[in-house]
Homo-oligomer: A and B are copies of this chain.
Amino acid sequence: MTAPSSSDLPGGRPVAAPAIRIERLAVIGLGLIGGSFALALRRAGAVGRIIGAGRSAKSAAEALEHGLVDEIAAGPGEAVEGADFVLVATPVGQMEAVFAAIAPRLSPQAVVTDGGSTKRDVVAAARRALGPALARFVPGHPVAGAERSGPSAAQAGLYEGRRVVLTPLPENRAESVERVAAAWRACGARVHSMDTAEHDRVLAAVSHLPHVLAYALVETVISDPRAELLWEHAAGGFRDFTRIASSHPEMWRDICLANRDLLVEEIDRYREQLERLRGMIDRGEAAALEDLFRRSASARNAWLERFNARARNSA
């Protein structure tokens, strides 16, 4: 993963030199994902100069202010000129326009990746818009959400121990895939690869569906005539359950649309389970309810132990 180094920090902790060197990094989209990538690579000593392009003067100013980038380019096309590594980290709905803008200006040695939460749509957009650069585009998804967004939410440690899924294209050369993987590893992430469609199916179930469910719960409270009273009594369980409903609205709009066929399937699978559980409650089926709750709690606890162990091991 990373080349071991014999040098020690003053505190005595061994450090590893990053296995990647990026001379000029272009980050298109200056939010949580792009900003944290820039900060993490900088901290790892893996990057020379960082050029950013954002949608607004405000996000550009914030990105400079928080030290995410060294300079702001006039647009995506300008940002990638001379860059040897490009991350596209806009909401997925904007990626095709970004690909079209950067395609003619990419240097021949640049590798391109993205940070989108859906992959079939991003791959389709890349096929339409990237032209010959497609072979150097390695689709990626850092599975490291947070309910905060924007340049000020970026943090160098966001990806530590987190999972990044790459869904390489048949056109990709192994060295492009390895370069993108090495960049994410330098950010502290664990890199996995997966089939594009499978990625979208799995993420629909474990990420997109829970977001939709959390939004629907907040909507249920908002639409209640007694909403004020309900908010007043909502407590810690409600807070954790709805954390993801504070996510970036535009990003989640794009994800829901990009993955809508698979997401609708997952919503329907969920509705069946909810219907079944509702029936048990309505009919007062004590034993069946307790069985279900016990099975759920034990499956979830078993998963949580593995999840926490993974996080510890990569920390």
Contact = CB atoms under 8 A, between A and B. Distances in A.
B215 A246 contact: no
A216 B273 contact: yes
Interface stretch (A61-69, A177-185, A301-309): A301-309
A209 B274 CA distance: 11
Given A145-B236, A230-B205, A240-B240, A245 B281 contact: no
Contact of A300 (B202, B245, B267, B275): B245
A142 to B, nearest CB: 10
Interface string A249-265: 11011001100100110
Nearest to A252: B293
Copies of this protein in the complex: 2
9 contacts: A143-B235, A146-B236, A210-B242, A212-B278, A215-B292, A216-B274, A245-B293, A253-B290, A256-B281
A207 B247 CA distance: 21
Interface of A: 143-146, 162-163, 165, 198, 201-203, 205-207, 209-224, 226, 229-231, 233-250, 252-253, 256-257, 260, 263-264, 266-271, 273-278, 281-282, 284, 286, 289-290, 292-297, 299-301, 303-304, 306-307
B241 A213 contact: yes
